[in-house]
Amino acid sequence: MDDVARLIKAADFAAFKHRRQRRKDAEASPYINHPLALARVLKLEAGVAEMDVLVAAILHDTVEDTETTVEELEREFGHAVAAIVAEVTDDKSLPKPDRKRLQVEHAPHISHQAKLVKLADKICNLRDVLDAPPSHWPMERRRAYFEWAKAVIDGLRGVHPGLEHLFDDAYRLKP
Ligand code: ZN
């Protein structure tokens, strides 16, 4: 399967898996907008052209937030993509505070490709908190999210100056 076909297949797969989910903003945007935003940031804003990274970005929340398994991704999209998604997937059997702490602890040790996806995820999430925040999040929670995201990203710097710059641009607008 060529690269364009693989990218289209990933978008279609993620759209189907997330079809019943919505983002937390006031308008309850379709969930697929988020993974597509990661791919846009990576390719259009930061010039990341590596296809495994773009495909993994589109699929990055399917294991964490739907019934998709890493084995299924491996079968459909190959080992490299499945491995990147697995690296950016939180263990949902753990309580939320542990998951947040583990993201900070693990960030320095994940692969280069997973770091690119992680950077794009945090850039998109900061922008969402700024532009279309979850309606029930008080200002204090929005600020705390920014601080936590920065702690994660500070642990993996030196991987892509362009993406890190985009992250810092968003962070500077902290509520
Ligand atoms: Zn995400």
**168 among known catalytic residues:** no
Q: Which domains occur in the chain, in start order?
A: 3-171 (1.10.3210.10)
What is the torsion angle, in degrees rounded to the nearest 10, for the CA atoms of residue 87, residue 54, residue 3 and residue 12? 90
* From 25, 50, 64, 74, the catalytic residue: 64
38 phi, psi to nearest 5 deg? -60, -45
pLDDT given for residue 94 in this prediction = 96
**pLDDT tens-digit readout, 113-147:** 999 999 999 999 999 999 999 989 999 999 999 99
Output the CA–CA distances (angstroms, integers) from residue 55 to 31, 41, 63, 83, 130, in the order listed.
16, 13, 14, 12, 26
Question: Per-residue pLDDT tens for 49-59?
Answer: 999 999 999 99
| Span from the CA of 122 to the centroid of ligand 1 (angstroms) | 8
**In the chain, beta strands by DSSP E:** none
Whole-model pTM?
0.97
Which residue among 65, 74, 76, 90 is the active-site one? 65
Structure tokens that stand for 51 in this block: 């296809």
